[in-house]
Chain A
Amino acid sequence: MSRTGRCIGALGLVLCATSVAARGDVVSDQAAAILVVPKIVVDVTNAAPQIAPPHRIDTLIRVSNTLNAPIRLYCFYVNATPHCTSTAEPCVSNPDMCSCLTDPVTCPRSFCKTEWNEIDFRIQLTAQQPIAWLASQGASFCSPSSDPDVPCLPLSSDSGVLGPGGQSNDESLIPPVPEDPFIGELKCIAVDRNTIPIETNNLKAEVEIVRSSSGFVDVEGYNAIGIPAIPGTNNQDNVLVLGGPSAEYSPCPNLLIMDHFFDGALDPVSNKTVTTDLTLVPCSEDFATQVTPTSTVQFLIFNEFEQRLSTSRSLTCFQEIRISDIDNARPGIERSIFSAAVQGTLTGQTRIRGVADGSRTHGNTLLGVAEEFRDGGGSAAVNLHFDGSRPQSDFIYLPGN
């Protein structure tokens, strides 16, 4: 072997050692095999107390197939609507409504307890097809008697309306969310006709949350988070491995990064107070046994002076929280480390990390979305940034079929 060949050979070994596997990352701007919609909220009956004047809220989910072939989705609503333990009434926006301290005899002590249960359903999409549905209504096949204001599934054998090549949305039925008010998430997984997960990175979705009342419309939107499948790794069982050894899907991020206004800051454009809500969901999910492990979430906050503060909080299944409530500041937000009054600047960068607990059955990474609310005005949602990955796996356990 000539000297040149040895040099090239050495280069090859170096390249081999340093080249990484195809970067598989959780994305919010590319099609993927698993879709995660961290926040769905419904309150059409206006049963949950709202800021005055009361608004009604619903969520529109838009899903598209980017493939030139049909694709099937196996979807799960995760219902995280809290209820009073004594009355089972939903207590979404007012946890204190469960308290009953005035008459403990006839009104036993109660608290607002977050629950976690799932319902699953299947959707068949045709090639390149977009569909949408209201979370409060779900979607069924379009028919002459369908409400024209409610999106429906347009292609079906029953209606005789089929796509090119006879493709249809047959065998699809999208239920409404199980209660109103509702708060929770949605996860959808690309599967085959036998509901076996497949390695098809062709699903994308957007979410629209609308608040409306007489003379008021507010809309916010964000992209669903996608978890790409890693080609050639799927063993077709009901345990989806995200990252780590034996990964079938890309790993969930080690960190979430959120740039935000601190609560109580004045929007420099409108001079109105801005607050931020953060929704977090675990990457790991057990739809088979419905076990919901608790993770510790660390928050590391940097202000515009590069000063850092931190706090932590437990998360079980789902958390939607105003950031100035994360550290349980009382009596008002002005004592929170997420407030402009404490931080001294208008904006900050918060790095969010689920603490690994060494479990071999679930991971502790997180996904989420942030929303800004302007006092007396509208809201805006924004996808969080992702950073890094972990050696440990996350898992999604599907029910046995």
Chain B
Amino acid sequence: MGRASGVIGRWGVVTSLLLLIATLPARADVTTDRGSSILIFPKLLFDSQGILPNGRPVDTIIQISNKSNQLVFAHCFYINTVPADPTRPASATNPSQWTEVDFGLLVLTKQQPTYWQISSGRRIEPDPLCSRTVRDCNNAGFDPGAVPPVNSDPFVGELRCIETDSTGAPLNGNHLKGEATIVTKDDNDASKYNAIGVIGLNTDTGPNNGDNTLCLGGGTSEQCPTGAEYNACPQTLILTHYAECNDDPSRSCAATDPVIEEIGSGPSQVVTELTLVPCSEDYEQQAPQSVTVQFAITNEFEQSFSTSTTVTCWGNFRLNTIGPVGRIFEISTLGSRFAQTRIFAPGTDASGGARGGLVGVVEEFHRAPRTSPTPSVGRAAFNLFVEGQRPNADLIVMPEQ
């Protein structure tokens, strides 16, 4: 018995060391199609008057579901990044604010779906049930909690929801899923994307230490004494997109939507908006995070281009405004209608810190006819593809309660 236990013990030592080495790096399981412990909605828009640069009244519907058979709690954060002058794009002379409003705890019963409009939030009050005769039944159902409306009109920014226990301590339940629908009021068009989910590690067994610093990937550190609590943010985001047209409708552009061209509503133009947010966020210090972003572009001829920009807290770019020289995404530069762009951040930020993960979403606006001052516009949202995992931790610091 003693000899057998010694053999087993030695093999166990070897096995445990090998497994320890093999399991150390957190997986890059940022996901848009599985239950998660952190939900990120990178792009929220509300503009009742159409004064934002796109000029169309718009609102966003948030849907969140509990996919489990148990009660689930969540602490949510709106981040408002509308610039000082909302009628102009954000710039050095028109800086974005960075205002955080948090609310919760949201409470979702088992398998419960819920939703709210960001313009109105959702109050705790009895609402009429929907029926064949009652169509005005907005907010019918169990209210998940007091959800405030966003704190400005217009509003641009993001939403994050973090799964917690009943005391508000972060929890790796991986029970949440979400979608956002951006609806333009004047033509009732909509685009929809899945919330980006960050999966918590070792569901129900830790190692989330339940403190206010959420460690996404990475190893042990002063801020992350138990190491990674959630999976790492991706190393690279991948986007396949149209090249951009120039902004002069009198000049022809080959980067048209071939479907619109083919079925007769052309000439068309496709505008791509990319929204990026840093994985790291500090709600305690209210310090917006800056990330330098690199873009590596390959066109259909396998030719490569590159550019870069900086995202501070929230970045929403039309592709042909990205980079110091601009226009690199225009078809006159790219030379083909479609391109594949890899988006990534260096391993360290400008201050030498080890942050820099990004997540995001992309929207396309298909306009026809291009030469019209009031073209018909169809919008569609796509989740970005992800690849790899960042070696360094990203941190979300929740405020002390």
Contact = CB atoms under 8 A, between A and B. Distances in A.
B27 A23 contact: yes
Given A167-B302, A269-B59, A383-B383, A154 B188 contact: no
B146 to A, nearest CB: 16
Contacts of A210: 257, 259-260, 263, 366, 378
Contacts of B113: 259, 302-304, 347-349
Contact of A29 (B23, B32, B117): B32
B117 A269 contact: yes
A319 to B, nearest CB: 20
Nearest to B380: A221
Interface string B263-278: 1111010000000000
A343 B67 contact: no
A151 B337 contact: yes
Given A161-B301, A217-B377, A217-B378, A340 B130 contact: yes
Q: Dominant SS at the B interface? A: mixed
A12 interface: yes
A81 to B, nearest CB: 18
Contact of B11 (A9, A15, A345, A384): A9
A64 B340 contact: yes
Contacts of B264: 56, 212, 214
B339 interface: yes
Contacts of B187: 377-378
A59 B259 contact: yes
Contact of A128 (B34, B61, B193, B340): B340
B88 interface: no
B238 A64 contact: yes
A302 B300 contact: no
A136 B378 CA distance: 20
Contacts of A385: 33-35, 67, 177, 194
A129 B9 CA distance: 52
B366 A219 contact: yes
Most buried by B among A151, A163, A216, A306: A306
A37 interface: no
Interface in B334-386: 336-340, 364, 366-368, 375-386
Most buried by A among B6, B23, B385: B385
Most buried by B among A23, A31, A223: A223
B141 interface: yes
Given A31-B387, A265-B130, A272 B188 contact: yes
A30 B387 contact: yes
B125 to A, nearest CB: 14
A28 B31 CA distance: 9
A213 B265 contact: yes
A60 B9 CA distance: 59
Contact of B137 (A30, A221, A340): A340
Contact of B376 (A11, A217, A257): A217
B183 interface: yes
Contacts of A6: 5, 9, 12
Interface in A203-228: 204, 206, 208, 210-223
A155 B383 contact: no
Contacts of B136: 266
Contacts of A264: 135
Interface in A340-358: 340-341, 343-349, 351
B33 A29 contact: yes
B117 A347 contact: no
Nearest to A348: B113
Given A62-B338, A204-B238, A217-B265, A306 B112 contact: yes
A283 interface: no
B111 interface: yes
- What bracket does the count of chain B residues touching chain A fall in? 35 or more
A48 interface: no
Interface in A347-401: 347-349, 351, 372, 374-387
Nearest to B301: A154
A48 B377 CA distance: 24
Contacts of A1: 5-6, 9-10
B207 to A, nearest CB: 14
Contact of B302 (A11, A56, A163, A351): A163
B191 interface: yes
Interface in B39-67: 59, 61, 63, 65, 67
Contacts of B387: 30-31, 66
B135 A266 contact: yes
Interface string A7-46: 0111111011001000101111111000000000000100
Nearest to B382: A221
Contacts of A127: 302
Contacts of A383: 32-33, 194, 383
Contact of B179 (A9, A10, A382): A382
Contact of B340 (A60, A130, A137, A211): A130
B206 interface: no
23 contacts: A8-B16, A9-B8, A25-B34, A28-B32, A126-B302, A128-B304, A131-B300, A132-B338, A206-B240, A212-B264, A214-B265, A219-B366, A221-B381, A259-B65, A259-B177, A268-B117, A344-B141, A347-B114, A374-B188, A381-B192, A382-B179, A383-B383, A385-B177
Interface of B: 5-6, 8-17, 19-20, 23, 27, 29-35, 59, 61, 63, 65, 67, 109-115, 117, 119-120, 129-132, 135-142, 177-179, 181, 183, 185, 187-194, 238, 240, 254, 256-266, 268, 298-302, 304, 336-340, 364, 366-368, 375-387
Given A5-B10, A15-B20, A383-B194, 12 more contacts: A66-B385, A154-B336, A266-B138, A270-B183, A305-B142, A306-B111, A345-B140, A349-B113, A378-B187, A378-B379, A382-B193, A382-B194
Interface of A: 1, 5-6, 8-13, 15-16, 19, 23, 25-31, 44, 56-60, 62, 64, 66, 126-132, 134, 136-137, 148-151, 154-155, 161, 163-164, 167, 204, 206, 208, 210-223, 257, 259, 262, 264-270, 272, 302-306, 308, 334, 340-341, 343-349, 351, 372, 374-387
Nearest 9 interchain pairs by C-beta: A304-B141, A377-B188, A9-B12, A12-B16, A378-B189, A9-B9, A12-B12, A219-B378, A163-B302
